[in-house]
Amino acid sequence: MLEQFGSLSPANVQKWQFTEPKQGVFNYTQADDFVNFALKNKKSVVCDTLVWHQEYPSWLDQKKWTKEELLKVIDQHVYSEVSHFKNRCFSWNVVNEALNDDGTWRETLFYNVTGTDYIATAFRAAARADPKAQLFYNDYNIESPSAKSTAVENLVKTLKKQNIKIDAVGLESHFIVGETPSEAQQQQQMQAYIDLGVQVLVSELDVRFSALPPTEAGLVQQTNDYQSSINACIKVGKQCMGLYVWDFDDAYSWIPSTFPGNGDGDLWYANFTTTPAYDGVVSALEAGELKNY
């Protein structure tokens, strides 16, 4: 199974609550285990996540920060973590899910104290710590034209105007069977980001059923939905830097706990047998002459 993937990404162990559980006290033990395993098996590592409004340590909520203080904390955290993994991470999800679906800024601890300055601070710190790593902004519901996608485009423009390194936009691509944006819509939106001078990656692809068990027609649709993302990435060429699934099997999927009654969204079932969508993904990759993507 491992040989079918060219890259690996950790689910949680590089997130802030694990890597800096107490202010200024860093713990990279679990993350090092993951990264070392990936590199030992000759896989590139898509490192994840530096700044997110979830899975950050409780000490951040236990103090009333000034803007300057919190920006310094963000800078120190990002710089420390990226420095620790320098030359081991192919890329970093630097800032995750900073926008609401209507394109407005999500009101988080970081935004409420610093406005949008925390985003620039995080990207600057990551670039300073590892200039060779590919840095990306990551979000969901930005895979086709929408107010949120436009807001991401504006974010990219803003960072670039400030000469801040941003290399890519990560499209989470958490889809529902039968409600996935079309191949044409995904390709159009990918190209819109690319036209701004960044690459794209399909960063967390899964296509879940909203009701279980799936029907035969539903399994066919799920295969088509997976292929829409694969084909869109292939058609924009090398500017789509990768395709990643989240997770690869239903046994450890995040979906059932987040969306009760939903599931079977991955390429392997919980018993580790492959789904029809797996065969469809392999066919699409082979047709596009892409392997281990």
Burial 76-99 (b: 16+ CB within 10 A, else e): ebbbbbbebbeebbbbbbbbbbbb
Q: Which amino acid is at 46?
A: V
Exactly one of 20, 81, 97, 183 is catalytic; name it: 97
Peptide bond into 49 cis (omega under 30): yes
Exactly one of 20, 153, 172, 204 is catalytic; name it: 204
What is the C-alpha R_g of the chain?
19
**Considering only CA atoms, which of 155, 243, 156 is closest in space to residue 202?**
243
Q: CA torsion sign, 108 to 27 to 170 to 91?
A: positive
Q: Is 20 a catalytic residue?
A: no
Q: Is 204 a catalytic residue?
A: yes
Q: Long-range contacts: 20-23, Cβ < 8 Å, 24+?
A: 20/57, 20/77, 20/80, 20/81, 21/57, 22/57, 22/59, 23/57, 23/59, 23/73
- Strand 168-171 relative to strand 134-139, pairing: parallel
Identify the DSSP state of 237: G
- The catalytic residues are 97, 204
